[in-house]
Structure 1
Amino acid sequence: MTAASGTVPDFWIDALPQAVLLCGGGNVVRINAAASRLWGVTQARAAGRPVLEVVRRHTLEALIERGGELELEVGGRTLRCTATRDGEVSALVVEDITEHHRREAELREATAVLSHEFRTPVTALRGVLEALEYDMPRELSQNFVRQGLQETGRLARLVEDLAVGFRPTRARTLPLAEAFARAERLLENELTARGSRLSFGPDHLVRADPDKLLQVLLNLIENALKYGPPGQDIEVQTAGRGTWAEVCVLDHGPPIPDTDSLFQAHTRGVHASGQGSGMGLYIVRSVVQGWGGQAWATRAGGRNAFCFTLPGVGGRG
């Protein structure tokens, strides 16, 4: 197609995900395939018509006339509209940035929640250190040290949660049993305190970042400990699903009415009590989607099952 500005190959302009409108003298010269879908008009019908008949918004007509950029809310979507002029020839580019805005808002909310959560362990650590300044019986001082170590561990987990989306991935092939053993060692004290037992399914070879896989397991097993009854058996089931491995953490907690909403940022279950950021399952889904897997929750055999998939390597460890 030839316009006053030169030649624009049809295949190139139609391949763009952004809606593009070219015009001259107030009339449309060309729209691409994305613009045709956006404004519901065929490319042939749009050619030669006044700009306003195609875009149907005076704000866009004015933007094309003067050039510049603006954002529009249309049908629940956010559109970034950019217009440029070169003499009598103008171009309008419209990009759907709804998902970008959603992710930005979610990141701001997640950061705000985690920042708030830092205050509790920091305050507790300050209290422990202030107490240890004074002479006290050894048993009492050891108790304060244990409290300080617990809060330090909690602080370290919060740092891990905050950094999960920014750490580079260091994937390698490993048996699931390796990650299970690490998780069990780290949760040994919590399991003993709750009188709970942890069991694991058959081993599988997988391809993942060991630290991020451990973070997913810790979040899911800690949730099972937190929301299930004391003394329960927590089972970590495994299965091969084609080229993927599936891991499910099952607990004996009460049924959850809306499982999918739990994976949203700063969301906690209806049975949640005590302190918590509501970020655990959001972080789980973010990590799992990062390696191309899925994370979900369901009710299975009278138990809650929190499951995820990760790339397998075609065999068991």
Structure 2
Amino acid sequence: MDSAPADLTADAWMDALPQAVLLFGGTGGGGAPGLTVTRLNAAAVRLWGVPQGRAAGRPLLEVVRRHTLEALAERGGELELEAGGRTLRCTATHAGEGGALIVEDITEHRRREAELREATAVLSHEFRTPVTGLRGVLEALEYDMPPDLAQNFVRQGLQEVERLARLVEDLAVGFRPTRARTLPLAETFARAERLLQPELGTRRATLTFGADHLVRADPDKLLQVLLNLIENALRYGPPGGPIEVQTAARGTWIEVAVLDEGGPLQGSEALFRAHTRGPQAPGQGSGMGLYIVRSIVQGWGGQTWTERRGERNAFCFTLPGGAGIG
């Protein structure tokens, strides 16, 4: 008389589990009568769509409908299975003449892992720009130079240290809301030109900028967008080719376009996806540059695209504008 409440308690405990649990008995391994289902919990009923009353006593394969799971139940162990767009972690254990098949939906866990990898890739890419700037500053300070010029390099170095500090904060506590302010585009153009000067000299390329406009953006994020696009033009355009940054007012938005004299692009929309590089991209790269550009621009509500303008490729983006200057 005391066993019934205990059984009911065990059944309720099993049904409360989020994992699907199938208890089975039998010999398995091809022997008669094979593995048969003895008990399903509520999650298993939902997963396989077979009520407990119909499942009990039936061959395990008729319930799970996958030879992979039948084989796992026979031998024991663990595997991951893709089914219906979900990722399932399946574990089989044996005890005496029976055992248990436990299935856990880990789709959300795998999604969070992918997001963490993506965030790590984005941060590592963003770290590259201030680190490169600091290296250039320190290399310049190795040489004798007038005090005012040395002081200018020190200021540049401090700016890059500040950017690194902000990235470290983002890494430690997650991505914070944008630090937007109103600023002239010329301010960001000057910072970008300063940081890119060594690479411009090495590649013997020229860089020109269009008309100034007031915009509303996070200055560091705007700089990151501009640097990524100009660096792409430097690396993937023809050596020594001119690079032009054009600007135009589009209603309440400002359009910025970085133009180079590279050949026509194939499948340009795909270039904005994570870990994607053009088929003719030289050397090795993370394929994250344009993905970061699009992520930042979408964060302030803008758009990104590429188009062919005459004999040049244009990588374009929009950002909120203010009153024009000059």
For residues 307 and 255 of structure 2, the distance between their equivalents in structure 1, rounded to whole angstroms, comes to: 15
1:261 is the counterpart of 2:271: yes
Question: Could you say if the C-alpha distance between residues 5 and 251 of structure 1 is closer, same or farther in structure 2, counting changes exceeding 3 Å?
Answer: same
Mapping of residues 125-274 of structure 1, within 5 Å: 132=143, 159=164, 166=171, 168-171=175-178, 174-175=181-182, 178=183, 180-189=185-194, 194-200=205-211, 209-224=218-233, 227=236, 230-237=241-248, 239=250, 247-254=255-262, 255-259=264-268, 260-261=270-271, 263-265=273-275, 267=277, 270=280
TM-score between the two structures when normalised by the length of structure 2: 0.54
1:74 aligns with one of 73, 77, 82: 82
What letter is aligned with 2:305? A
Aligned 8 A contact 2:277 2:287 in 1: yes
When structure 1 is superposed on structure 2, of 20-29 and 116-125 the one drifting more is 116-125
For residues 14 and 122 of structure 2, the distance between their equivalents in structure 1, rounded to whole angstroms, comes to: 47
What letter is aligned with 2:246? E
Structure 2, unaligned runs of 5 or more: 1-7, 25-36, 94-98
Q: How many residues align?
A: 280
Aligned 8 A contact 2:45 2:52 in 1: no
TM-fit CA distance, 1:186: 0.9
For residues 140 and 292 of structure 2, the distance between their equivalents in structure 1, rounded to whole angstroms, comes to: 30
Aligned residue for 2:106, secondary structure, equals: strand
Question: Could you say if the C-alpha distance between residues 29 and 226 of structure 1 is closer, same or farther in structure 2, counting changes exceeding 3 Å?
Answer: closer
What letter is aligned with 2:260? H
For residues 118 and 111 of structure 2, the distance between their equivalents in structure 1, rounded to whole angstroms, comes to: 10
Task: State the structure with more CA Rg.
Answer: 2
Aligned residue for 2:210, secondary structure, equals: strand
For residues 308 and 287 of structure 2, the distance between their equivalents in structure 1, rounded to whole angstroms, comes to: 23
For residues 286 and 152 of structure 1, the distance between their equivalents in structure 2, rounded to whole angstroms, comes to: 27
Mapping of residues 277-288 of structure 1, within 5 Å: 279-288=288-297
Task: Provide the residue aligned with 1:95 in structure 2.
Answer: 106
TM-fit CA distance, 1:75: 7.3
When structure 1 is superposed on structure 2, of 250-259 and 48-57 the one drifting more is 48-57
Aligned residue for 1:287, secondary structure, equals: helix
For residues 251 and 75 of structure 1, the distance between their equivalents in structure 2, rounded to whole angstroms, comes to: 46
Structure 1, unaligned runs of 5 or more: 37-42
Identical amino acids, percent of aligned pairs: 26
Aligned residue for 1:233, secondary structure, equals: strand
For residues 107 and 265 of structure 1, the distance between their equivalents in structure 2, rounded to whole angstroms, comes to: 12
1:48 aligns with one of 54, 60, 63: 54
For residues 130 and 180 of structure 2, the distance between their equivalents in structure 1, rounded to whole angstroms, comes to: 34
Aligned 8 A contact 2:22 2:44 in 1: no
Aligned residue for 2:271, secondary structure, equals: helix
Task: Provide the residue aligned with 2:20 in structure 1.
Answer: 21
2:306 aligns with one of 276, 282, 298: 298
TM-fit CA distance, 1:76: 11
TM-score between the two structures when normalised by the length of structure 1: 0.55
TM-fit CA distance, 1:237: 4.2
Aligned 8 A contact 1:80 1:94 in 2: yes
TM-fit CA distance, 1:217: 3.1
TM-fit CA distance, 1:250: 3.6
For residues 117 and 209 of structure 1, the distance between their equivalents in structure 2, rounded to whole angstroms, comes to: 16
TM-fit CA distance, 1:118: 9.5
For residues 249 and 160 of structure 1, the distance between their equivalents in structure 2, rounded to whole angstroms, comes to: 29
What letter is aligned with 2:54? G
For residues 81 and 115 of structure 1, the distance between their equivalents in structure 2, rounded to whole angstroms, comes to: 36
